[in-house]
Structure 1
Amino acid sequence: MIIKQFEYKPLAHYSYAIISNGEMAVIDPERNPMQYYQFAKEHDAKIVAVIQTHPHADFVSSHLQIHEETGATIYNSEMLGADYPHESFDEGGSIKLGDAILRALNTPGHSPDSITIVAEGDNKTALFTGDTLFIGDVGRPDLREKAGNMTAKRQELAEMMYDTITTKFKNLPDGALVYPAHGAGSLCGKNLSEENSSTLGNERMGNWAFKEQSKEEFVNTLLDSQPFIPSYFGYNVDINKNGAKNLRAAIANVPFHYLGKTDELIVDTRPEDTFKRGHLPNSFNIQAESVDSKFETWLGSIIQPKEGFHLVIENPENLDSILERVSKIGYESQLKSVITLDGENLQKSSKLNLDDFTNNPDKYTIVDIRNSSELEEGKFFDSALSHPLNELRDSANDIPTDKPIVVHCAGGYRSAAGSSILESLKSKTTVYDLSEDIENFK
């Protein structure tokens, strides 16, 4: 039994392929399925199954496309209420994959319809736990109150997670390998490890969820201090429940304009220094130059599902990669165009006099756009106003304009976005980005 883990770092997402005796199953695939096809080709394997552990909130899955292009059967819990062709895969059910056997456990808690896949072959056991059991943590229970076919309140799901952790893994061996759908950096949990896999024995020893505790203690810990929920999460649950469109067809419809212009909402993906030297009005600087940047998360947190927008890229050669990144969260359908700039009639961002700010911070309105959980660790400036980035477009009217505004986060990436949002919304007030100089104040 061959197991391959695929990682998409910006969303801290792990997907998997299992091969046994010429047959392959794909688990929780990301939007572009080509890497799975390539892996099957390299191992002379036929893709016969694609399995969803649940309808994911933070990325769009290619399960329907894989089914249409390979003929593979889609398996998921019947509780999901899927609108695409599929076979039920719930507790008591099994799939024969070559010489391996895949069994389902119903493991609700992150969602009501979550399953864990138990793969057995070659004298080893592997658990594909989706967003139920992470390395060092369990999945958050507060994402299904307003999305998906089966909604549930966070208290109910937290109690389900307690029952799952205390009962569902009991009869599995300590040596069983644990392969989750996410790692550190994902917003589907709060304390995920940097490790990409573990064993059930190690989790029983080191994961807080397996410690001896009452249901009330477990639930209180699980519900406490979960990170913010990006705007696009519920939207992605619905896309995954219905099955996403073929990726190639979806992005083919997006217009590209070399040296274009627009006065509508713009997401400018260029580096912050380039953006500050010149950009179009109504531009939000959500950088996508780094392959590891959290572009998808912040695109889906700042721009609302179904809200139309345009993208600015630095060079035409970036077109394919940016379209694929936008499609990771299903936003290609609301993308009106991708453009490059001609360098004329652009706006410049104001540059902060760092010495003056350091010596006279009271001359400025300081806006801290870090998340609420970060604020609990303390402020960098006592006078700073808290306006988390994911809420900034809605809360901007509450920010006074009698002084110049200085925006900061924890490292600089988010403050580029935050300062550009306020620059667009408060055109009569000077807005500065503290950027990486925040390091001087820690």
Structure 2
Amino acid sequence: MKIEQIYTGCLAQGAYYIVSEGEAAIVDPLRETQPYIDRLEKDGVKLKYIFETHFHADFVSGHIDLSKKTNAPIVYGPTAKPEFDAIIADDNQIFELGKIKIKVLHTPGHTMESSSFLLINENGEEKALFSGDTLFLGDVGRPDLAQKAENMTQEELAGLLYESLYQKILPLSDEIIVYPAHGAGSACGKNMQKETVDTLGNQKKTNYALNQKDKNSFIKAVTDGLLPPPAYFGMNVAMNKKGYKSFDEVLSKGLNALSPKEFEEIAELSGALMLDVRNSDVFAKGFVPQSINIGLNGDFAPWVGALIVDVNHPILLIADDNQEEETLTRLSRIGFDNVLGFMKGGFEAWKKSHKEIDKVHRISAQQFEHEIKNKNAQIIDVRKEREYLAEHVNDAYNKPLAYINEWIADLNSEEYFYLHCAGGYRSMMAASILQARGYRNFAEIEGGFAAIAKTEVSKSNFVCPTKVFPYIG
């Protein structure tokens, strides 16, 4: 028997590859299926089942494409109603895989169809739990996603989650290995640990949600401090439930190389968003006017989902050479399939065509320190609230990047301001959005708060983030 976690850092997502006696199963596969096909062929095994723990909200699963290519059935837990062929398992139903068994545990709460899969080895021993979004390391699945259960409040869903965890998972052996669907950085939880695998026994000791005195305290603990879910989540649920274009088709369409002239014409005719995925330091020095920067070198996919929102919005890509396919793959993982093409030769081709170029006014932390002494200007900190409350520049306003579409209208286009995040990745996104919408009255601070902290700029006293948000690591 072999269990392999296939972890994707950009999405903080874990898929699982299980093999026994020439038969394989995959739990919660990513959108691109070729790596799984290659692995199956290399190992000389046949894919027997594709297990889906629930209808995912934060990414588009590869279950449908993988099933078509391998003829392996898709398996969901009780109450799931997909609009394609699938096995809807009963609670406690057993699936045999080589010499091992996989038992379905219906664990509603995060979603109504949410299920965990318990692996039983050839000796009849319960060895591993693929817990989906029901149980994370350090946290449990958020119960507030309204699209998951009509006519139910988040408190009612949290109550179901309590029963699932305390009646079905906590009674299991401490030695069982927990393999969750997500880790630190995912928006599906609020207190994820950095580890991606743990024993159930250790989670019983360290997971706040598994140490509540009663159901009411559990409901309060898991619903307290939840941030609004990203707006694209509902669209991903719909794609996972109803179906989607094949990844191969999406990739073929997106790999449409365009000259700068063709790129510009299509942008004007289609209203496509021009997405520049280069490093923020490079973007600041020159970019196509009106383009938005979300760098591949960070949490690319979640930020695309949070800022662009509509998975159907047409997109044109500006990337470094040989990064186009990687960009398309990462976009498709969250359902952004409507890429019309990319600029052949990237931004350098645009420059060589002598077309207009824009820049971001970026200054060093030292220059900011000098200027702020003699200038009465706003300071906007686009970090998350918990980062801001831990330590910030005195008199700075906290305007988290995730909500820029809400707070941008409140800015005075005549009043000068300074913009920063933690290190420059997020503030460059904000700067590109601001300039695309006509704001030029600001300076973005290179290196963000990390650089500012090394200057004499007046700052608040540091407070440990866990004291501000006790359930957030």
Q: Which TM-score band applies after superposition, normalised by the shorter structure?
A: over 0.9
- Counterpart position of 2:138: 136
User: 1:12 Cα deviation (Å)?
Assistant: 0.6
User: 1:369 Cα deviation (Å)?
Assistant: 1.4
User: 1:236 Cα deviation (Å)?
Assistant: 0.7
How many Å separate the matches in 2 of 1:212 and 1:353?
A: 47
| 1:411 is the counterpart of 2:417 | no
- Counterpart position of 1:240: 240
- Counterpart position of 2:342: 338
How many Å separate the matches in 2 of 1:321 and 1:312?
A: 12
SS of match in other structure, 1:253? helix
AA of the residue aligned to 1:39: R
Name which of 309, 318, 321 aligns with 2:315. Answer: 309
- With over 3 angstroms needed to count, the CA separation of the structure-2 counterparts of 1:43 and 1:354, relative to structure 1, is closer
1:251-274 deviation line (CA, Å, top 9, x unaligned): 212233143333543211111222
**Mapped contact 2:286–2:358 kept (Cα < 8 A):** yes
1:138-170 deviation line (CA, Å, top 9, x unaligned): 111112x0x257574311111111111211124
AA of the residue aligned to 1:441: I
SS of match in other structure, 1:157? helix
**Mapped contact 1:227–1:373 kept (Cα < 8 A):** no
| 1:298 is the counterpart of 2:303 | yes
TM-score (norm 2): 0.87
How big is the alpha-carbon RMSD for the aligned residues of Structure 1 and Structure 2? 1.9
Would you say how many aligned residue pairs link Structure 1 and Structure 2?
433
User: 1:233 Cα deviation (Å)?
Assistant: 1.1
**Mapped contact 1:423–1:431 kept (Cα < 8 A):** no
| 1:386 is the counterpart of 2:391 | no
- Counterpart position of 1:11: 11
- Counterpart position of 1:363: 376
- Counterpart position of 2:173: 173
- Any gaps of 5 or more consecutive residues in structure 2? 454-473
User: 1:371 Cα deviation (Å)?
Assistant: 2.3
- Any gaps of 5 or more consecutive residues in structure 1? none
User: 1:360 Cα deviation (Å)?
Assistant: 4.3
Deviates more, 1:42-51 or 1:272-281: 272-281
SS of match in other structure, 2:95? strand
- Counterpart position of 2:469: none
How many Å separate the matches in 2 of 1:154 and 1:298?
A: 25
User: 1:109 Cα deviation (Å)?
Assistant: 1.7
- Counterpart position of 2:468: none
How many Å separate the matches in 1 of 2:108 and 2:387?
A: 29
- Counterpart position of 2:409: 397
**Mapped contact 1:80–1:149 kept (Cα < 8 A):** no
How many Å separate the matches in 1 of 2:110 and 2:78?
A: 16
| 1:349 is the counterpart of 2:360 | yes
User: 1:101 Cα deviation (Å)?
Assistant: 0.9
SS of match in other structure, 1:168? helix
**Mapped contact 1:279–1:347 kept (Cα < 8 A):** yes
**Mapped contact 2:116–2:130 kept (Cα < 8 A):** yes
How many Å separate the matches in 2 of 1:152 and 1:113?
A: 14
User: 1:381 Cα deviation (Å)?
Assistant: 2.4
- Counterpart position of 2:326: 321
How many Å separate the matches in 1 of 2:446 and 2:281?
A: 10
User: 1:43 Cα deviation (Å)?
Assistant: 2.1
SS of match in other structure, 1:83? coil
Name which of 277, 286, 296 aligns with 2:294. Answer: 286
User: 1:296 Cα deviation (Å)?
Assistant: 0.3
How many Å separate the matches in 2 of 1:148 and 1:219?
A: 17
State how 1:1-400 maps to structure 2 within 5 Å. Answer: 1-123=1-123, 124=125, 125-143=127-145, 145=146, 147-148=147-148, 152-254=152-254, 255-259=256-260, 260-261=263-264, 262-263=267-268, 264=271, 265-288=273-296, 290=297, 293-305=298-310, 306-315=312-321, 317-333=322-338, 335-339=339-343, 340-341=346-347, 342-343=350-351, 344=354, 345-352=356-363, 354-361=365-372, 362-378=375-391, 380-400=392-412
- With over 3 angstroms needed to count, the CA separation of the structure-2 counterparts of 1:75 and 1:437, relative to structure 1, is closer
